[in-house]
């Protein structure tokens, strides 16, 4: 079908958040209160932190403050790939923390196991399926990189099965595939908004006080704790955890490490039995292709296809604006790529189109830290892979706030910070140069130009 026609009726809102399961908001904070722990941000980072704080110590008084609605931002509008990796993939982790990569891979798998256990324990109905991820190659050079990753994984005792074109097409049938690799344990599919709402309910059931539509405007240090100032009240907290993602941080120093990058997604109508049979997909894996500019796609519970990625857009100046959540040129490009991948679905239409903002940092995986004499902890910079890793980051924040040394706080990955981005306007110029170079590399059998090779040597990068 003509991509424009397929998009005609697509609503301009995130599919997952457009659901009857969306709960009524919790009341705003009015007046002044105190808490042992105040969590700022009601995405996955904040929700996991509040929940696990109560699980660790049920007597702790925990309050969570969310500026808008629980899960409205990245956490409720993503692809729903909950990945085990804590390092934005094994290759990035190996490059940066070679002596820790085995530990990090196994910690990531345990974190994903524990997400599954939590979902089961609280009866969270979020369509959780541990189906793994199929990494597909559409060009031979991508297969070479896959062979390397699968070799490394084998040495670390992690399962990454290489597949030839016929084997991949027997799983998910596209004429564009030349081979692939199935990461069987490393990924679960879920409905991210229903996970966020389920975590919210679990927090409430354990006694966390949640206030929505309560932005924290400022923070003040006092001898008795940190005061969080909101439009109609305040919280005096002994400890504070920041799970504010890419939004203007309460801690100024974080600004140097984060840039907002927009990622875009389409959702199709449900496939008929015949349409689904034409693709196969019996094992319902998440799928990611393997160029530098990659697509990710998956089935929903009612057999729609979510199709996202490719363009990772940085708007010069680095602002976050509602109008950036829609980008027609990208939607048309995504629709064209969808029909090129699945020509057998040429009469399928899209029902939703949306975008969301990602907290990109230069090392692609989250960074952690404390301030205010250890009374505040933060975790941010998940760079498009935070559905699973935010739970690990939440545990790191709680460990740091406890002041205890744990297997997590002792990691070099946790102790080190990413290289900061330069200030504007150099920041915008550098990022656009990098985006252009990445697109060129994909056109050039993956060959990286001098600019990308220089950034690689410096440990600096741009990704989504």
Binding site for ligand FAD (CB under 6 A): 40-46, 65-68, 72-75, 77-81, 83, 215-216, 243-245, 247, 250, 263, 265, 296, 308, 356-358, 382, 384-388, 390
Nearer to ligand FAD, 369 or 384 (CB): 384
CA-CA-CA-CA torsion for 150, 151, 155, 158, nearest 10 degrees?
Answer: 10
**Which one, 111 or 275, has the nearer CB to ligand FAD?**
111
Smaller CB separation from ligand FAD, 80 or 162: 80
Sign of CA dihedral 384, 266, 44, 135: negative
CB 106 within 8 A of CB 333: no
Contact call for residues 96 and 201 (beta carbons, < 8 A)? no
Q: What residue number has its CB nearest to ligand FAD? A: 386
Pick left, alpha or beta for residue 227 (phi over 0 → left; psi -120 to 50 → alpha; otherwise beta). beta
- Cβ closest to ligand FAD, residue 77 vs residue 169: 77
Closest CB to ligand FAD among residues 185, 344: 185
| CA 236 remoteness from chain centre | 31
Task: Decide: helix, strand or coil at residue 109.
Answer: helix
- CB-nearer residue toward ligand FAD: 169 or 337: 337
Token pair listed for 265:
């997604």
**Nearest approach, Cβ of 218 to ligand FAD (angstroms)?**
9
Output the smallest distance, CB 364 to ligand FAD, in A.
11
- HSE toward the beta carbon, residue 409, CA cutoff 13 A: 15
Minimum CB–partner distance for residue 282 and ligand FAD (Å)? 21
Q: How near is the Cβ of 254 to ligand FAD at its closest, in Å? A: 11
Query: In angstroms, what is the minimal distance from the CB of 387 to ligand FAD?
Result: 3
Contact in structure between 93 and 365 (CB atoms under 8 Å) = yes
Shortest gap between Cβ of 104 and ligand FAD (angstroms)? 16
- As beta bridge partners, residue 33 has 235
Provide, rounded to whole angstroms, the least separation between the CB of residue 245 and ligand FAD.
Answer: 3
End-to-end CA distance of the chain: 29
Which residue lies nearer to ligand FAD by CB, 380 or 460? 380
CA atoms of 4 and 419, how far apart (whole Å): 41
Q: Which residue in 17, 79, 13, 8 sits closest to 350, CA to CA?
A: 8
Residue 254 DSSP code: G
User: Least CB distance from residue 299 to ligand FAD, whole Å?
Assistant: 13
Locus of tokens 């910690």: 107
Please say which residue, 81 or 368, places its beta carbon nearer to ligand FAD.
81
436 upstream amide cis, omega within 30 of 0: no
**Of residues 324 and 451, the one with the C-beta less far from ligand FAD:** 324
Strand residues in 41-119 grouped as ranges (E): 62-65, 81-83
Give the DSSP per-residue string, 78-100.
S--EEES-SSSSHHHHHHH-TTT
Q: Supply the minimum distance, in Å, between the C-beta of residue 454 and ligand FAD.
A: 27
Smallest gap from Cβ 135 to ligand FAD, in A, equals 14
Query: Which CB sits closer to ligand FAD, 162 or 312?
Result: 312
């Amino acid at each position: 079908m003509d991509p424009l026609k397929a998009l005609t009726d697509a609503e301009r809102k995130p599919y997952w958040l457009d659901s009857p399961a969306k709960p009524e908001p919790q009341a705003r904070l009015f007046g002044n209160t105190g808490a042992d722990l105040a969590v700022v941000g009601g995405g996955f980072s904040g929700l996991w932190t509040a929940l696990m704080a109560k699980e660790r110590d049920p007597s702790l008084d925990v309050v969570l403050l969310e500026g808008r609605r629980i899960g409205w931002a990245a956490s409720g509008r993503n692809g729903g790939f909950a990945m085990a990796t804590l390092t934005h993939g094994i290759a990035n982790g190996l490059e940066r923390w070679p002596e820790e990569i085995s530990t990090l891979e196994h910690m990531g798998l345990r974190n994903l196991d524990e997400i599954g256990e939590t979902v089961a324990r609280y009866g969270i109905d979020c369509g959780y399926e541990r189906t793994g991820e199929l990494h597909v190659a559409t060009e031979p050079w991508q297969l070479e990189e896959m062979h390397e990753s699968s070799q490394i994984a084998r040495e670390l005792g992690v399962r990454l099965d290489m597949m030839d074109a016929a084997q991949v097409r027997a799983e998910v049938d596209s004429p564009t595939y030349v081979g692939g690799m199935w990461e069987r344990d490393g990924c679960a599919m879920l409905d991210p908004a229903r996970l966020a709402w389920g975590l919210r309910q679990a927090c409430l059931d354990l006694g966390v006080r949640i206030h929505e539509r309560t932005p924290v405007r400022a923070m003040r240090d006092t001898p008795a704790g940190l005061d969080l100032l909101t439009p109609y009240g305040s919280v005096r907290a002994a400890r504070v955890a920041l799970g504010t993602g890419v939004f203007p941080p309460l801690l100024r120093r974080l600004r140097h490490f984060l840039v907002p990058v927009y990622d875009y997604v389409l959702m199709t109508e449900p496939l008929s039995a015949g349409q689904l049979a034409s693709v196969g997909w019996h094992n319902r894996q998440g799928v990611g292709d393997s160029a530098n500019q990659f697509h990710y796609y998956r089935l929903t519970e009612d057999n729609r296809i979510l199709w996202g990625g490719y363009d990772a857009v940085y708007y010069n100046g680095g602002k976050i604006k509602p109008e950036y959540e829609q980008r027609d040129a990208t939607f048309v490009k995504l629709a064209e790529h969808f029909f090129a991948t699945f020509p057998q679905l040429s009469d399928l239409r899209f029902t939703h189109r949306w975008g969301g903002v990602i907290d990109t940092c230069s090392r692609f995986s989250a960074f952690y830290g404390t301030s205010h004499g250890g009374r505040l902890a933060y975790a941010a910079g998940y760079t498009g892979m935070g559905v699973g890793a935010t739970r690990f980051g939440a545990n790191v924040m709680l460990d740091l706030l406890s002041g205890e040394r744990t297997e997590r706080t002792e990691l070099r990955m946790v102790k080190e910070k990413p290289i900061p981005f330069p200030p504007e306007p150099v920041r915008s110029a550098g990022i656009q140069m990098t985006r252009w170079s990445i697109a060129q590399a994909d056109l050039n059998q993956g060959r990286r130009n001098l600019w990308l090779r220089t950034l690689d040597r410096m440990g600096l990068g741009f990704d989504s």
